[in-house]
Structure 1
Amino acid sequence: MVQEEVIIPYIEGDGIGPDVWKAAVKVFDAAVKRAYGGSRRVVWKEVLAGEKAFRETGSWLPEETLEAFRQYRIGIKGPLTTPVGGGIRSINVALRQQLDLYACIRPIRYIPGIPSPMRNPERVDMVVFRENTEDVYAGIEWPSGSAEVRRLIEFLNSEMGQRVRPDAAVGLKVMSPYCSKRLVRMAIHWALEHGRRSVTLVHKGNIMKYTEGAFREWGYQVAREEFGDKVIFEEELRGSPPRGKLVIKDRIADAMFQQVLLRPEEYDVLALPNLNGDYISDALAAQVGGLGMAPGGNMGDEVAIFEATHG
């Protein structure tokens, strides 16, 4: 029997990453052997990022690592160091932006026997689609007192009629129709293909009307224009949804945190902007046993990199 080999790049990660990888790779190899009866195996190709990459190459994220992911189109990674405050920007964010991994997909479901702080963690069964490339996570920001921020504050105050303190640090919250729509489109596609019940657009549009509020409107637009015969909107419901129809609804982000605690069975697939998606996916992971219990896939149209959910 000729054994088929598949090459998958991996980053073992920083901190406990190498220890986790040593245990995880044994599980992966055993699962592949069991699934394919020995006819296939994974050849694991190490690529560098984070502290190990910096020690060995002088770069936190070498170009060779990005090229390997582009070539093989799939990868897996451990946690990577992100200093709080000054220092390097997030390597995780850089991977997502440079490879255009625009959707962070996190399925969150309780595994029986895992300790949980909840009385009924089995009520949680959701898949989070988090936009991965925009919002405040884009890293467009300037430190207090810098020449750049002084010019920006001067423009905002003199030209745009704002009242920003001269000693402020400033970051931009960038959200576009293109990136928001493709995220919602992927969430609806996935929900339809997997027979899920609903997609909920989670946003803070009551306050941030032109960014988060626009995310809501763009999401409804995608649902209406591209999936009109396959979806039904919550306000149109009269009792149970028609058979085969996917329910589209939305919730304000802060209220949604209460909803996932008190009424988790009412929610199925969630689509969110970047920052809120980070918060709510971590909170849901805590309900089923902790951050490490929730897998995550960072996916684009050409490349996907998988990881454990972590803070």
Structure 2
Amino acid sequence: MTPAAKVTKNANGTLSVPDHVILPFIEGDGIGPDIWASAVRVFNAAVERAYGGQRKIEWLEVYAGEKAFNNTGEWLPTETTDTIADHLVSIKGPLTTPVGGGIRSLNVAIRQRLDLYVCQRPVRYFDGVPSPVKTPEKVNMVIFRENTEGIYAGIEFDHGSEDVIKLRNFLVEELGVEKIRFPDTSSLGIKPMSEEGSKRLSRAAIQYALDQNRQSVTLVHKGNIMKFTEGFFKKWGYEVADQEFADQTYSWARWEKTKEEQGTEAANAEQAAALEAGKILVKDCICDAFLQQILTRPAEYDVIATPNLNGDYVSDALAAQVGGIGIAPGANINYENGIAVFEATHGTAPKYAGQDKVNPGSVILSGEMMFRYMGWNEAADCIIAGLEKTIESKRVTYDFHRLMDGATKLRCSEFGSAIIENM
């Protein structure tokens, strides 16, 4: 086999993935070592099963979180994010939130430092997984959550500080703001949402929908109230659809225009003809209505594009419908430069650390996403087949075991072994 090499990007924007590839990983804090030990065996077995020795992964550990702090005094060394950027594709476990000042969230810091503007969360149901809803199998969505702007940009000023007084005075005295109800005790935050940031997210979501033969893209927003931020997120999303993907999509903005010019009947006929021709429908939904409708009619939604805070709520709400965040995968991706960090989406659960107890499904399915991103679909298929058969046989970790009749409880490591056996 050829020497191991990193993933690179071709001139046409596609990834070049060597058969013997180097992939950086961050083990993670708390339960991170437990779930990584189980997951990495699944990854290696899937590659071996799919390619019979023709492809192989060389894992390169990089450091963040407690292990990095203990070794270097830094929670997120620059060397770590430089290595991730240089190798393009990587995977990580959960990271702790540092105590004290400085970095508020290591996960957010990685996303912002590397400009990973898409938080991508696929949500689907696996037969046999306990669910609190009657028809979880109707949930099959992929969320594109904006990662770098909005409330999560972290532009906040503490109440009573010199900075918040300066900002408050500017808002009140220079801009005439009168809606700060309790100005003397208010903390203030700023919510930047740009045309560039909104459009690149919508562009990635629409292109993904086209590439994966999905049916629709929904822009989820609160633009009826926040008109110049989330309202423009919707407007800019429709502009991307109508100006950059006009031959491949049909948008509700186009429907409104036709309705205004020719009437409702003509607009409905135009939309029906577009969908019959195979175009993707680009629509929108106010976020509070969306949170209702994913419970009452989830089959109507497919790919979701949404600002940061909405995406945080929606991701976890949908994960609960299909069995919980313990098996919810995720990735942070810059579709323009190709850098992608796949990750467990749950927390560090320190009280379970070292017990070989928790469900490694989130990081395992994030690895499945990673393989598809790399074009190693056969290895990804092996993981799905192994996981489906394991859950169907009711051999599960404690979180599912307590909710399933007649199930066999497995340790974290045993669950990984069962997936390998069932590939």
TM-score norm. by structure 1 comes to 0.96
Q: Which SS does the other structure have where 1:166 is aligned?
A: helix
- Give the alignment partner of residue 67 of structure 2, picking from 42, 52, 60: 52
Name the residue aligned to 1:223.
241
1:308 paired to 2:344 = yes
Q: Is the 8 A contact 1:6 1:41 kept in 2?
A: yes
Name the residue aligned to 2:160.
145
- With 168-177 and 158-167 compared, the bigger mean Cα shift is at 158-167
In 2, Cα distance between equivalents of 1:224 and 1:109 = 29
Name the residue aligned to 1:247.
281
Counterpart amino acid of residue 221 in structure 2: H
Which structure 2 residues correspond to residues 24-63 of structure 1 after superposition, within 5 A? 24-63=39-78
The alpha carbon displacement at 1:2 in A equals 5.7
1:65 paired to 2:55 = no
In 2, Cα distance between equivalents of 1:84 and 1:199 = 39
Q: Is the 8 A contact 1:282 1:309 kept in 2?
A: no
Name the residue aligned to 1:108.
123
1:271 paired to 2:289 = no
- Give the alignment partner of residue 203 of structure 2, picking from 185, 190, 194: 185
In structure 2, list runs of 5 or more residues that go unmatched.
4-18, 256-266, 348-423
1:286 paired to 2:320 = yes
In 2, Cα distance between equivalents of 1:255 and 1:217 = 18
Q: Paired residues, what number? A: 311
Q: Is the 8 A contact 1:144 1:167 kept in 2?
A: yes
Structure with higher Rg: it is: 2
Q: Is the 8 A contact 1:2 1:39 kept in 2?
A: no
Q: Which SS does the other structure have where 1:229 is aligned?
A: coil
In 1, Cα distance between equivalents of 2:268 and 2:46 = 43
Q: Is the 8 A contact 2:75 2:98 kept in 1?
A: no
Counterpart amino acid of residue 50 in structure 1: G
Q: Is the 8 A contact 2:36 2:93 kept in 1?
A: yes
In 2, Cα distance between equivalents of 1:7 and 1:140 = 36
1:212 paired to 2:248 = no
Q: Which SS does the other structure have where 2:184 is aligned?
A: coil
Q: Is the 8 A contact 2:68 2:74 kept in 1?
A: yes
User: Relative to total residues, which structure has the larger helix share, 1 or 2?
Assistant: 2
- Give the alignment partner of residue 129 of structure 1, picking from 144, 152, 168: 144
Name the residue aligned to 2:384.
none
Q: Is the 8 A contact 2:158 2:187 kept in 1?
A: yes
In 2, Cα distance between equivalents of 1:142 and 1:84 = 19
- With 232-241 and 265-274 compared, the bigger mean Cα shift is at 232-241
Per-residue deviation, residues 239-291 of structure 1 (Å, max 9, x unmatched)? 75223110010000011000100100001100000110111011101100001
TM-score norm. by structure 2 comes to 0.71
Per-residue deviation, residues 31-84 of structure 1 (Å, max 9, x unmatched)? 111111111111111111111111111111001101111111111011111269
- With 231-240 and 250-259 compared, the bigger mean Cα shift is at 231-240
Q: Is the 8 A contact 2:120 2:144 kept in 1?
A: yes
Change (3 A) 1:156 1:2: closer
In 2, Cα distance between equivalents of 1:265 and 1:115 = 19
Name the residue aligned to 2:187.
169
In structure 1, list runs of 5 or more residues that go unmatched.
none
Q: Is the 8 A contact 1:48 1:65 kept in 2?
A: yes
Change (3 A) 1:86 1:263: farther
Q: Which SS does the other structure have where 2:68 is aligned?
A: helix
In 2, Cα distance between equivalents of 1:27 and 1:291 = 19
Q: Is the 8 A contact 1:282 1:310 kept in 2?
A: no
The alpha carbon displacement at 1:87 in A equals 6.1
- With 295-304 and 2-11 compared, the bigger mean Cα shift is at 2-11
Give the aligned CA root-mean-square deviation in angstroms. Answer: 1.6
In 2, Cα distance between equivalents of 1:160 and 1:26 = 59
Counterpart amino acid of residue 59 in structure 2: W
In 1, Cα distance between equivalents of 2:172 and 2:309 = 27
